[in-house]
């Protein structure tokens, strides 16, 4: 039977593992769920940074005299 979600195995330093475990316990969620949520948040931040760079480049090369509203 195929699984609905993919699995990922990672190795963590002891201190990082302990902090992650404590954070999960405080939130009342599993260690896996906490790790997934943190990865998702990091990916969203990375995406925001990418689009910020795209916007900066577009702003840098934007020609006001070529717009419909001048």
pLDDT at 1: 67
Residue 41 has what pLDDT?
98
* Residue 2 pLDDT exceeds 80: no
Calpha distance 48→53 (Å, rounded): 9
Task: Specify the pTM.
Answer: 0.76
Kindly indicate the confidence band of residue 70, based on its pLDDT and cuts at 50, 70 and 90: low
* Cα–Cα distance for residue pair 52/59, rounded to 1 Å: 10
For 8-63, how does the pLDDT look when each residue is reduced to its tens digit (9 = 90+)?
999 999 999 999 999 999 999 999 999 999 999 999 999 999 999 999 999 999 88
Tell me how far apart the alpha carbons of residues 17 and 6 are, in angstroms, rounded to a whole number.
21
**Terminal-residue alpha carbon distance, the chain:** 60
């Amino acid at each position: 039977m195929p699984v609905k979600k993919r699995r990922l195995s990672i190795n963590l330093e002891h201190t990082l593992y302990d902090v992650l475990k404590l954070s999960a316990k405080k939130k009342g969620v599993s260690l896996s769920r906490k790790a997934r949520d943190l990865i998702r948040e990091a990916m969203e931040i990375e995406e925001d940074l990418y689009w910020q760079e795209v916007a900066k480049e577009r702003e840098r090369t934007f020609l006001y005299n070529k717009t419909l509203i001048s």
